[in-house]
Amino acid sequence: MELTYKLQELDLAVDYILSNTKSKTLLFYGEMGVGKTTLIKELVKALGVRDVASSPTFSLVNHYESDNGPVFHFDFYRIEDETEALDMGIEDYLASESWNLIEWPEKVENLLGENTQKLRLELNSDHSRTLKFC
């Protein structure tokens, strides 16, 4: 399954994700600058979060409250090894019934378990993005 969209069509990508995901733990794969954070910001809004989402690059995780419960946005780009994720309690987040939106999941792959949905983002030559469920 895949969807190609332009940045002004982020709502289509968000609807596509929410309509097709099998898990509330979403793993976002893609090169730097492909638009993972931008897509997650729109997804956070669609999940009912009223705060403006931002990248948790330095804090590792941002916690947002929505009418449907907590939403957690992780960015593991800067971690050196999985023990940093363990130290911040990733297992508790993953065991919760909350939405977990994870950028750079390849850095913590051994900790993620099977109840996840992998998504790959690719930048196309016309500056559109292709979103693939893996």
Kindly report, residue by residue over 38-76, the tens digit of the pLDDT. 999 999 999 999 877 767 666 789 999 998 899 999 999
Q: Where are the alpha helices (DSSP H) in the chain?
A: 10-20, 36-46, 82-87, 90-95
Cα→Cα distances 75→6, 13, 114, Å: 23, 20, 19
Closest residue by Cα to residue 2 from 128, 115, 134, 124: 134
The answer to whether 24 and 119 are in contact (CB under 8 A) is no
Kindly report, residue by residue over 9-24, the tens digit of the pLDDT. 999 999 999 999 999 9
pLDDT value of residue 92 = 94
Kindly state which CATH superfamily the domain 2-133 is placed in: P-loop containing nucleotide triphosphate hydrolases (3.40.50.300)
Most distant CA atoms of the chain, gap in Å: 41
Residue 113 CB neighbours (<10 A) = 11
Query: Model's pTM, two decimal places?
Result: 0.92
β-bridge mates for residue 36, sequence order: none
The answer to whether 73 and 42 are in contact (CB under 8 A) is no
